[in-house]
Amino acid sequence: LAEAIRVIGAWGFEYRTHIIWDKGRIGMGYWARQQHELLLIATQGQPPAPPPETRPASIVRAPRGEHSAKPAEFYELIERMFPDLPKIELFARTSRPGWAAWGNQAP
C-alpha cells in the first residue's frame, strides 16, 4: 500500500480514498490469508467530489472472477460517481468503453 501511494504521487495523481473489495472467500497470503483487495481512488487536477447520492459504501462484496480481473461493479461505481470525467484503469487486463487502459496486458 505504501508503495502504491508513492507511485500515485510520482505519476502526478493525488490519493483520495479507497474501497475494499470483499471477494467472499479466503485466498493465499504470507502474513494473512487475503479475502480482499483495495481499489485506490486517485485524481489529477481539481475534480469535484462526487454528489452525495453517488458516493458508494466503502466495502463492495463481489465474487472474484478470472485472475486479477476486476468486477464490473467497480467500473459502474466510478462511472456513477464521475459520469463526465475521463477515466483510466492502471494495470488493466481488459478495455471498457469510455475508459483509457494502461498496463502490459491492456488491449
Is the pTM higher than 0.85?
no
- Mind listing the pLDDT tens digit for each residue in 53-66? 999 999 999 998 87
* 61 three-class SS: strand
- Mind listing the pLDDT tens digit for each residue in 3-30? 999 999 999 999 999 999 999 989 888 9
Q: What share of the chain is helix, strand, coil (3-state, %, to 5)?
A: 20, 25, 55
**C-beta of residue 44 within 8 angstroms of C-beta of residue 14:** yes
**C-beta of residue 41 within 8 angstroms of C-beta of residue 19:** yes
Burial of 43 by CB count in 10 Å (0-12 exposed, 13-18 middle, 19+ buried)?
Answer: middle
